[in-house]
Amino acid sequence: MSTMTAPTLSDRYGQRTQRKKMSPAFWYTLAALGVALGVAFVLWVQTSSQDKPTARDVGFTLTSVNEVDVTFEVSKNPEDTAVCALKALNPSGAPVGWKEVAIGPYADENGNGISVQTVALRTLGEAHTVTVDACWIPEQK
């Protein structure tokens, strides 16, 4: 009976090479780059959102089956004119009313462009929910 010796893995596939370790300078540079990108992203988000108007729903009152009074707060640059879209929904969530409202330049006593608006909105049926769908500056729509 002949004995056959099994080759070792290193004979068959070669010696395993050792990976070169990364220097600490590489990791410090990578960490600094990550921090710089994070700071740049935060600054970009803050500056890009400053020009956009925002709205907050305050409430609504049903004045009839076909009309509601909507109260909402708009925050924008005092010198800008913004347009806000109001949306009324019935109990099943289907739209029953829509209106775009222009809010002109306005500044309160502190110079802020925050104002509370109350608008009458005609509906096709009884509204269950009324909300501000979106606000924008007309040139940026």
State pLDDT tens for residues 49-69: 567 899 999 999 999 989 999
Helix, coil or strand: residue 28: helix
pLDDT recorded at residue 69: 95
Nearest C-alpha neighbor of 82 from the set 108, 56, 100, 58: 100
Give me the mean pLDDT over the 36-52 stretch.
80
Helix, coil or strand: residue 71: strand
pLDDT recorded at residue 49: 57
Residue with tokens 């056959």: 4
Query: Is residue 49 within 8 Å of 41, Cβ to Cβ?
Result: no
The number of C-alpha atoms within 13 Å of 53 and in the hemisphere containing its C-beta is 35
Decide if pLDDT at 16 tops 70: yes
The Cα 84–Cα 3 span in angstroms is 88
pTM for this entry: 0.63
Decide if pLDDT at 32 tops 90: yes
Nearest C-alpha neighbor of 62 from the set 50, 49, 53, 71: 71
Decide if pLDDT at 10 tops 60: yes
Nearest C-alpha neighbor of 121 from the set 63, 82, 80, 78: 63
Decide if pLDDT at 47 tops 80: no
Digit-coded pLDDT (tens) for 105-134:
988 888 888 899 999 999 999 999 999 999
pLDDT recorded at residue 73: 95
Nearest C-alpha neighbor of 125 from the set 92, 97, 83: 97
